[in-house]
Amino acid sequence: MNTLHSLISSLFLFSCFLPLLLSFSPPQTHLPMQCLDDQRSPLLQLQHHLYYAPHFTFSSKFELWHPNTDCCSWEGVTCDAYGHVVGIDLSYKNLSGSFHLIFNLHRLQRLNLAGNNFNTTLFSYGFDKLQNLTHLNLSSSCFHGQIPVEISFLKRLVSLDLSNQDSCYLRYYKELQQPLKLENPNFKTLIKNLRFLTELYLDSVDISTQSAKWCETTSLVLSNLRVLSLSDCDLEGPLCSSLSRLSFLSKLILDGNPISYLPPNFLEISSRLVSLSLRDCNLNGHFPTGILLLPKIQSIDISGNDQLMGQLPEFPANNALQSLSLSYTNFRGELPQSIGNLKFLTDLHLSGCNFFGPIPSSIANLSHLVNLDLGSNKLFGSIHSSLFTLPSLKTFYLGENQLVGKIDEFPNASSSLIEVLSIGNNYLTGPIPKSILQLPRLEWLYIESNSFSSMKLDMFVHLKNLRYLTLLNTSLLIESDNRSLTFPQLESLSLRSCNLTEFTEFIKRQDKLVYLDLSNNHIHGVVPNWLWKSSLSFLHLSFNVIDFPKQLPLNDANFSFSMLRVLYLESCNISAFP
Ligand SMILES: *[C@@H]1O[C@H](CO)[C@@H](O)[C@H](O)[C@H]1NC(C)=O
Ligand SMILES: *[C@@H]1O[C@H](CO)[C@@H](O)[C@H](O)[C@H]1NC(C)=O
Ligand SMILES: *[C@@H]1O[C@H](CO)[C@@H](O)[C@H](O)[C@H]1NC(C)=O
Ligand SMILES: *[C@@H]1O[C@H](CO)[C@@H](O)[C@H](O)[C@H]1NC(C)=O
Ligand SMILES: *[C@@H]1O[C@H](CO)[C@@H](O)[C@H](O)[C@H]1NC(C)=O
Ligand SMILES: *[C@@H]1O[C@H](CO)[C@@H](O)[C@H](O)[C@H]1NC(C)=O
Ligand SMILES: *[C@@H]1O[C@H](CO)[C@@H](O)[C@H](O)[C@H]1NC(C)=O
Ligand SMILES: *[C@@H]1O[C@H](CO)[C@@H](O)[C@H](O)[C@H]1NC(C)=O
Ligand SMILES: *[C@@H]1O[C@H](CO)[C@@H](O)[C@H](O)[C@H]1NC(C)=O
Ligand SMILES: *[C@@H]1O[C@H](CO)[C@@H](O)[C@H](O)[C@H]1NC(C)=O
Ligand SMILES: *[C@@H]1O[C@H](CO)[C@@H](O)[C@H](O)[C@H]1NC(C)=O
C-alpha cells in the first residue's frame, strides 16, 4: 500500500514537473546552470574593452551580451555544469581592442578568437594563466610579432591554430605587418611540452631560423599528431624519414616551403594520409606515383613544382581520390582511360604539364567533377561533347592544347552548371555549337585563336551572365548598329587582332565594361568621344592608326577620365595629343 502510494505520488510528481522542466530548461542536456558572478563580471568587463572595427577603425561598441541574462546563455559562451565558463568563441566578429579579461576565466578549455582584426602582438597576455586550455585558435586575426613562450606552457593543448595572420590583412587589402614568428622561443621550445597536440596549424608563421631539424623534432615530440599544417613558414628541407613515426598523421600541409627533396620512405609516410599538400615546394626528382593509389588518400596537391617528374598510373576501381592537383609539374605521358575509375573526383587540375594524347572519353563518367583543368598541355584529338554534359561541372579549361575538329552539339545545355569555359588556342574548326551559346550560367568564355567558322558577335547575346569574353585573333563579324547587341553583365572584352576597321558602336551600350582591348586591329580614325565611357579602367588601343579629336569634350558631365587607369597607345601614329 505504502509502495503503491509513493509510486502513484511520484508518478504524479513526475507528470507535474515534466512540463515545467521542459518549458524552463535550456536546450542543453544538463540541468539549468546559472552563470557564477566571478565568471559574469570579467565577461561584462571584457565587453567594454572590445569594439567592432570592420576596417580596423572603431565603428561601435561590442554589445553582444545582455547583463540581465544568464551569462551561460550568451552567444559564444559555454559553461560546465557548475556555471564555470569553459568555452569562448568570438570568431569572425570584426573585433578589435584588448581581451585581457579572458585570462581571469581560469577554467577555460576552448578559446577561439579567429578571424578578427586585432592588429596587436600577443606579448602582454599571460596565456599560461589558462592551464586547462585544450583548444586555442587565434588564426587569421592580424596578430604579429614573436609568439610568446607562455603558449608553450599550455600542456593540455590538443589543438593549436595560429595560422594565416596575413590573410587577415589581405581581407581588407591592408599593408601586411611583420607576420607572427618563432625565433625566441623557437619552434622546438614551443612544441616540446605540447605532447597531447593532435592538430598544429602555424601557416605563414615565420619559422625560418629553425634548421631542417624542425621535422625530426616534430616526429619525436608530437606523437599524437593528426594534422600538421605549416604552409609558407620558410621551412628548410629535406623532409625527414622519421615522419613515419607519426602513426596518426592524416593531413600534411607544407605548401610554399623550399623542401626540395622527399625522403625515400615517403610512400610509407603517406600511407595513412587522407590529405597531402606540397604546393610550390621546389620538389625535384620523381614523385612516388604509388601515393595516387593509396586507398585512404582523398586529396593531393603537388602543383607548382616544375622540376618534379611523374606519370599517371592506371587507377583501380576502389580509389578514394576527390581532388588531384598536379598543375605546373613535369608530369608527362598520356591520360589513362582508367581515370574514369576515380568516381569520387570533384577537382582535377592537370594544367601546365607535358601530357599528350587524346582526352580519355571516360572522364565523361566522373559525375561529381566540378573543376576540370587540362589547359596548357599537348593534348590532341577532338573534344567529346559528352564532357559538356558532366552534371556537376562548373569550370572547364582545355585552352592551349592541340585539339582539333568540330565540337558537336550536346543535350541538356539549359541545365548545365558551367560558369567558366576555356577552349582558346587550339585548332578547333566548324561553327561554335549552339549548345555552348545557351549555357545559362556561363560567365567566362575564352575561345580565342581557333578557326571557328562564321563567327558573329551577336551569337553571344543569349549568354545573359557573360562577364568576360575573349575573342582575340578571331575573324569576327560585328553588326554594330544592331540595337539588340548588348551584354548587360560584360566587364571584360578582348577583340585584339580581330581585323576590326572601326570603333564598333555597340561598345557604347556596355554599361559595366571595365576592360577593353582593341589593340592590333586596322582601326583608322579619330577616337570617338563615347569611348571615354566612365566605367572603363583599362583601354588598349595600341597598333591601330588613330587620332584624338582636336578638343576633348571636357565640359560634358558624362565625360570623365576618373575611372581610366591604363591607356595603351603604342604605335598608334598619333599626330596630336590633346
Ligand atoms: C565584418 O566586416 C566585413 C567588412 O566590413 C563585413 O563584410 C562582415 O559582414 C562583418 N562581419 C560581422 C560579423 O560583422
Ligand atoms: C582544470 O581541470 C581539472 C579537471 O579537469 C580541475 O580539477 C581543475 O580545477 C581545473 N583547473 C582550473 C584552474 O580550473
Ligand atoms: C596596425 O598597427 C600598426 C602599429 O603596430 C600600425 O602602424 C598599422 O597602421 C596598423 N594597421 C592597420 C591596418 O590598422
Ligand atoms: C579556427 O577557427 C576558424 C573559425 O571558426 C575555423 O575556420 C578553423 O577551422 C579553426 N581552426 C581549428 C584548428 O579548428
Ligand atoms: C562509364 O561507366 C560505365 C559503367 O561503369 C561503363 O560501362 C562505361 O564504359 C564507362 N564509359 C566510359 C566512356 O568509360
Ligand atoms: C538530360 O536531362 C534529363 C533530365 O534531367 C535526363 O533524364 C537525361 O538523361 C539527360 N540527358 C543527357 C544526355 O544527359
Ligand atoms: C591566330 O589564330 C590562328 C588560327 O586561327 C593561329 O594560327 C595563329 O597562330 C594565331 N595568332 C596568334 C598571334 O595567336
Ligand atoms: C540583331 O541581333 C539579334 C540578337 O542576336 C538578332 O536576333 C537579330 O536578328 C539582329 N537583327 C538584325 C537586323 O541583324
Ligand atoms: C586578318 O586579315 C588578314 C589579311 O586579310 C588575314 O590574313 C588574317 O587571317 C585575318 N585575321 C583574322 C583573325 O581573321
Ligand atoms: C549623360 O548620360 C546620361 C545617362 O547615360 C544620358 O541620359 C545623358 O543624355 C548624357 N548626357 C550627355 C550630355 O551626353
Ligand atoms: C604615320 O604618320 C606618318 C607621318 O604623319 C605618315 O607619313 C604615315 O603614313 C602614317 N602611317 C600610317 C600607317 O598611317
Cβ of 389 less than 6 Å from ligand 6? yes
CA 463 to centroid of ligand 4, rounded, Å = 39
Residue 235 pLDDT:
94
| Whether residue 449 sits in one domain with residue 479 | no
| Whether residue 315 sits in one domain with residue 404 | yes
Residue 576 pLDDT:
66
Nearest ligand to the CA of 174 is: 3
- At residue 481 the predicted structure's pLDDT band, cuts being 50, 70 and 90, is confident
CA 558 to centroid of ligand 10, rounded, Å = 6
| Whether residue 402 sits in one domain with residue 480 | no
Residue 497 pLDDT:
95
Among left, alpha and beta (phi > 0; psi -120 to 50; other), residue 436 is: alpha
Atom of ligand 7 nearest to the CA of 451: 5
φ, ψ (nearest 5 deg) of residue 153: -90, 0
- At residue 556 the predicted structure's pLDDT band, cuts being 50, 70 and 90, is low
- In whole angstroms, give the CA distance from residue 381 to residue 364: 16
Question: Mind listing the pLDDT tens digit for each residue in 326-375?
Answer: 999 999 999 999 999 999 999 999 999 999 999 999 999 999 999 999 99
| Whether residue 430 sits in one domain with residue 342 | yes
**Is the predicted pLDDT of residue 320 greater than 50, yes or no?**
yes
Residue 566 pLDDT:
87
> What range defines the domain where residue 394 resides?
304-453
| Whether residue 320 sits in one domain with residue 439 | yes
Would residue 495 count as lying in a domain? Answer: yes
Would residue 5 count as lying in a domain? Answer: no
Would residue 500 count as lying in a domain? Answer: yes
Residue 14 pLDDT:
39
Nearest ligand to the CA of 64 is: 1
Residue 34 pLDDT:
81
Q: Which of 389, 412, 438 to mutate to test the pocket of ligand 6 (most atoms within 8 A of CB)?
A: 412
Would residue 293 count as lying in a domain? Answer: no
End position of a domain, from candidates 419, 453, 487: 453
**Is the predicted pLDDT of residue 10 greater than 70, yes or no?**
no
Residue 175 pLDDT:
78
Mode of pairing for the β-strands spanning 299-301 and 275-277: parallel
Q: Which CATH number covers residue 513?
A: 3.80.10.10
| Whether residue 403 sits in one domain with residue 339 | yes
Residue 49 pLDDT:
94
Would residue 345 count as lying in a domain? Answer: yes
Residue 570 pLDDT:
87
Beta strands in 343-478 (DSSP E): 347-349, 354-357, 371-373, 378-381, 395-397, 402-405, 420-422, 427-430, 444-446, 451-452, 455-456, 468-470, 476-477
3-state class (DSSP) for residue 14: helix
CA 137 to centroid of ligand 4, rounded, Å = 6
| Number of domains within the chain | 2
| Whether residue 314 sits in one domain with residue 384 | yes
| 552 alpha carbon, distance to own chain's centre | 44
Atom of ligand 11 nearest to the CA of 575: 5
Would residue 333 count as lying in a domain? Answer: yes
| Whether residue 347 sits in one domain with residue 381 | yes
| Whether residue 496 sits in one domain with residue 402 | no
| Whether residue 321 sits in one domain with residue 423 | yes
Question: Mind listing the pLDDT tens digit for each residue in 80-136?
Answer: 999 999 999 999 999 999 999 999 999 999 999 999 999 999 998 999 999 999 999
Residue 333 pLDDT:
98
| Whether residue 519 sits in one domain with residue 489 | yes
- At residue 270 the predicted structure's pLDDT band, cuts being 50, 70 and 90, is very high
* Whether the model pTM is above 0.75: yes
Question: Mind listing the pLDDT tens digit for each residue in 362-416?
Answer: 999 999 999 999 999 999 999 999 999 999 999 999 999 999 999 999 999 999 9
Mean pLDDT of 127-156: 97
Mean pLDDT of 261-283: 96
| Whether residue 480 sits in one domain with residue 442 | no
| Cα 478–Cα 483–Cα 488 angle in degrees, nearest 5 | 90
Would residue 83 count as lying in a domain? Answer: no
Nearest ligand to the CA of 414 is: 6
Would residue 98 count as lying in a domain? Answer: no
More confident residue, 242 or 17: 242
More confident residue, 548 or 341: 341
- Mean residue pLDDT of the chain comes to 90
Mean pLDDT of 439-468: 95
φ, ψ (nearest 5 deg) of residue 385: -70, -15
The proportion of the chain whose per-residue pLDDT surpasses 70, expressed as a percent, equals 91
Residue 13 pLDDT:
39
